[in-house]
Amino acid sequence: MTARPTLEKVAERAGVSRATVSRVVNGSAHVTPEIRAAVLRAVEELGYVPNLAARSLATRRADSVALVFSEPPTRVFSDDPMFPSLIRGVSRETEAADKHLVLMLAGSPRGQERVERYATAGHLDGVIVASMHGADPLPAVLARRGVPVVCSGRSLTAGARGAPPCVDVENVRGAERAVEHLVTAGRRRIATIAGPQDMVAGIDRLTGYRNVLRGSDRRSIVAVGDFTRESGIAAMRQLLRDDPGLDAVFAASDMMALGALQVLRQAGRRVPHDVAVVGFDDVPAASYAEPPLTTVRQPLHRMGRELARLVLTLASGQDPGAPVILPTELVVRDSA
């Protein structure tokens, strides 16, 4: 049962040498058609499947990449509805390249160390770090160890020489579009629920908001959240206290926007009549919120794909090229 046939067996059966079988199996060059056919037949008959560990040992490649979530796992995997799409995108590319995808949750220091060890152990051709936190030390640590690393979201320390390549979205532009939409609709007192200011996405989206307001004659009204729904609730309450007359809110994440929606409803404000709300991310729940949420879409799936592509090129020793910046898109629904 567990006695899988080896190259040796196949070679014997096909009446050739191990090396030849290896050539055929790896689809490589110059093998006479008849011999190739004989080998393939033997492979078929024996149900031969190469032992990956042995191959990996001999080639010093691993044929797999890791996707690590470098956040406290609770947060990432329950509250944040964006990761599934990202995973799917990554998975799609890795499968196309016939690589395997190892998932690692590295929220704790122990987790970090695990990732480090695993990568160092040569079981990984590359690592994708999906941590939105700019100050995360993991990418740098891995890079220093010689492991190909790419990041989702521009690192806070980007620009520094040797910073890992990354895939990011047009956060500033997206936020600008959202706020412009509000301005165009004639909203006068446009507040924002900003994201955490230690994350690039948080910073950039606030910048976008400020850019537009500066260009119009409106003043900014800011509360800061951490992208979660709970923080959105708290921030919205704060905003209502600070400026009861506000007529629009741009939330830097959909989850915060959803929280805001709830608070507004409880406060008796009609959305969008009294207060317009725009979110950011376009998570699935945005489309079936009440009212459906106008938001800025991030191409998560595509990000995942690019991330995978990037790490794969990097792993193959090629130049990853310039950072990939993906476009965002305003999706207008009913909330604004």
Partner DNA sequence: ATGCTGTCTGAGAGCGCTCTCTGCCGTTCG
Partner DNA sequence: CGAACGGCAGAGAGCGCTCTCAGACAGCAT
Q: Across the strands, what pairs with 149?
A: 127
Task: Assess contact for 286 and 257: CB atoms under 8 A.
Answer: yes
Binding of residue 51 to DNA (CB under 7 A): yes
Q: How far apart (Å, rounded) are the C-alpha atoms in residues 122 and 141?
A: 15
Q: How far apart are CA 51 and CA 88, in angstroms?
A: 27
Strand ranges, E, within the chain: 64-69, 100-105, 126-129, 149-152, 166-169, 190-194, 221-224, 248-251, 276-281, 294-297, 324-326, 329-331
In the bound state with a second copy, the residue whose beta carbon lies nearer, of 113 and 198, is 113
Residues 193/232, Cβ–Cβ less than 8 Å? yes
| Binding status of residue 37 toward DNA by CB under 7 A | no
Residue 17's binding partner among DNA, a second copy, none (Cβ under 5 to 8 angstroms by kind) is: DNA
Interacting residue with DNA among 40, 46, 55, 301 (CB under 7 A): 55
Total H helices, total E strands in the chain: 14, 12
CA distance 87 to 95: 12
Tell me the C-alpha distance between 248 and 261, whole Å: 11
Q: Which helix (H) or strand (E) holds 183?
A: helix 171-184
Smallest gap from residue 55 Cβ to DNA (A): 4
Is residue 26 involved in binding DNA (CB under 7 A)? yes
Stretch that binds a second copy, among 117-125, 184-192, 204-212, 314-322 (CB under 8 A): 117-125
On the question of a cis peptide bond just before residue 244, with omega within 30 degrees of 0, the verdict is no
Q: Which is nearer to DNA, 23 or 210 (CB)?
A: 23
Give the residue, chosen from 12, 77, 237, 299, that forms a contact with a second copy under the rule CB under 8 A: 77
Contacts with a second copy, 211-250, as mask; x by CB under 8 A: ------------------x---------------------
* From 1, 27, 32, 109, residue interacting with DNA (rule: CB under 7 A): 32
What is the smallest separation between the CB atom of 227 and DNA, expressed in angstroms?
41
Pick the stretch among 36-44, 119-127, 216-224, 272-280 that binds a second copy (CB under 8 A): 119-127
Distance in Å, CB of 98 to DNA, minimum: 13
Instruction: List, in sequence order, the alpha helices (H) in 149-299.
Output: 171-184, 200-215, 229-242, 254-266, 284-287
Residue selected from 123, 173, 177, 237 as contacting a second copy according to rule CB under 8 A? 123
Sequence letter at residue 122: G
Q: Where are the beta strands (DSSP E) in 41-148?
A: 64-69, 100-105, 126-129
CB of 97 to DNA, least distance (A): 16
Contact between 92 and a second copy per CB under 8 A: yes
Task: Map residue 194 onto helix, strand or coil.
Answer: strand
Q: Which residues contact 37 (CB under 8 A, 6 or more apart)?
A: none
Q: Is 111 in the site for a second copy (CB under 8 A)?
A: yes
Q: Which of 205, 245, 248 is nearest to 225 (CA)?
A: 205
> Under the criterion CB under 8 A, does residue 270 sit at the interface with a second copy?
no
Out of 24, 105, 150, 249, name the contact with a second copy by CB under 8 A. Answer: 105
Q: Is 31 in the site for DNA (CB under 7 A)?
A: yes
* b/e burial code for range 219-246 (CB count within 10 A of at least 16 → b): eebbbbbbbbbebbbbbbbbbbeeeeeb
262 binds a second copy, rule: CB under 8 A:
yes
Q: Which two tokens stand for residue 274?
A: 């009294």
- Considering the rule CB under 7 A, would residue 301 count as an interface residue with DNA? no
User: Which residues contact DNA by CB under 7 A?
Assistant: 4, 6-8, 15-20, 22-23, 25-26, 29-32, 35, 48, 50-51, 54-55, 57-60
User: Which residues contact a second copy by CB under 8 A?
Assistant: 1-2, 4, 49-54, 56-57, 62, 64, 67, 73-74, 77-79, 81, 83-85, 87-88, 91-92, 95, 100-105, 111, 114, 117-118, 120-123, 146, 229, 258-259, 262, 265, 284-285, 288, 290
